[in-house]
Structure 1
């Protein structure tokens, strides 16, 4: 899942030659990541802090995901005001990159059409503020049936992709990557990452590191120019990519 700096620049050049989208080999400003989402991103149960733990060389970030949040409720209690203020305060010195992952709770209270409209609204508003939105599909639940992961978030993953295309923003497919990985390591190993023994949705500290690394490597696939701002962990990245169980202690 990880590109070297040289490969990243070659990818950008190939995009230019082929008429495709081009990402600069080097960003003009360091990133300031603002993580927006539900409990599977949030502190104590999500991948967000694991992701941010790899930042280096001037890259910064904050995890403002909220347990129980949907695309509607996340904006309450001053969180949207915080986002507006933060983007405004950092954009002169950083590229404010807002990752947006919802679905776990939205699927309980709204239609797919409503979800898509809400996601596009986030993207449009963040771009207008001077930020860079990146949509991330929902982390899989680690529930198995007949030896395979139950893909009960696939429709919401698909709708997040449709929303990303409609909004013209980058899409990181964590749902597919995490489903593939959890399927590969099997039901018994997958429970190693449970926040509590029966909690197959949220992540303990080991899961935070493993799925934080997975998310980071996926982000670097769409933004290879940011590679220098994250500490590498090739051993962990390779185990994840190869579908090998890991405790995250590499």
Structure 2
């Protein structure tokens, strides 16, 4: 075998190790996405339904986000239902449980409590046979001096640390959405507001745009899922390039 060929093979293997990207398997089950989180995930205000709109058969999913939820309230009210969903789908799918909290935890919990709760939720999913993926919080679209106020930065860092401590993947939606909103500017950023003065929740256009953002982040983490998402190259390119998108692309 030529040295250049050996080098190329080693480079490919190194890339796979560094990125931690699972490789496609012939016997792989399609994903079943169980979206958990607060109102920035939930129906009517979150990215969850926008994300699911891109999920293609035979993959499927359900949006179980809950308005006002914290890691504490969600565990108390909905977690048994989520774990049952994992158990009910694991024979036919790879259950992927996305976990995105922070907006409301920020108001009531310490960072340490938040991190411990995320780790417990992720460990529960693993124990039930599912794959947990932590997602850092969608940015608020509040500005100061022309820049997004990064008031979730500490919570982003804690979520990432929790994922690393458990040894699972995470999607850094917080930094991706912050960078995108900074790129398109304050006026355009507010076109995604659910209502006047609400710079946290998303209207229909925002659901699609940020749902696509999460889908693209998911595909970066799990390129083996490529066949399970309907592509929208125009929208994905605008997001990647920091260009304003209407959601009608």
TM-score grouping bracket, smaller chain normalisation:
over 0.9
Could you say what secondary structure the match of 1:76 adopts?
helix
2:21, 2:223 within 8 Å by CA — same for their partners in 1? Answer: no
Could you tell me the TM-score, scaled by structure 2's length? 0.92
Please give the alpha-carbon distance, in whole angstroms, between the structure 1 residues aligned to 2:146 and 2:14.
Answer: 44
Asked if 1:70 is matched to 2:88, the reply is: no
Structure number with bigger Rg: 2
> Are positions 1:111 and 2:93 aligned together?
no
CA contact (8 A) 1:15 1:22 kept: no
Please report how far the alpha carbon of residue 19 of structure 1 lies from its aligned counterpart in structure 2 after TM superposition. 4.8
Answer whether contact 2:36 2:97 (CA < 8 A) is retained.
yes
Aligned residues: 239
CA contact (8 A) 1:134 1:170 kept: yes
Runs of 4+ aligned residues of structure 1 deviating over 4 Å after TM superposition are: 16-20
- Output the CA distance in 1 between the equivalents of 2:165 and 2:233: 34
The range that moved more, 82-91 or 229-238, is 82-91
Write the distance in 2 (CA, Å) between the matches of 1:101 and 1:19. 26
Q: 1:18 to 1:176 in 2, by over 3 A?
A: closer
* Deviation, structure 1 residue 82: 1.0
| Partner residue in 2 for 1:238 | 237
Query: Higher mean Cα deviation, 157-166 or 82-91?
Result: 82-91
Equivalent residue number for residue 53 of structure 1: 53
**1:157-207 deviation digits (Å, cap 9, x = unpaired):** 000000000010101000000000000000000000000011000000000
Mapped partners of 1:53, 1:17: distance in 2 = 31
Distance 1:165 1:238, change over 3 A: same
Question: Aligned partners of 1:52 and 1:18: how far apart in 2?
Answer: 27
Q: Does 1:179 align with 2:178?
A: yes
Name stretches of at least 5 consecutive residues in structure 1 with no aligned partner. 1-9
Task: Indicate whether 1:195 and 2:186 are aligned.
Answer: no
Give the Cα separation in 1 of the matches to 2:185 and 2:43: 26
Which residue does the alignment assign to 1:248? 247
Q: Which residue of 2 aligns with 1:134?
A: 133
Q: CA deviation at 1:57?
A: 2.6
For 1:150 and 1:214, how far apart are their aligned partners in 2? 20
Query: What is the CA distance between 1:24 and its match in structure 2?
Result: 1.6
Q: 3-state SS of the aligned residue for 1:107? A: helix
Say which SS state the counterpart of residue 215 (structure 2) adopts.
Answer: helix
Gaps of at least 5 residues in structure 2 are 1-7
Cα deviations across residues 112-151 of structure 1 (Å, max 9, x unaligned)?
0001100010111110100000000000000000000000
Q: Which has the higher contact order (CA 8 A, sep 6+)?
A: 1
Report the aligned-residue RMSD: 1.7
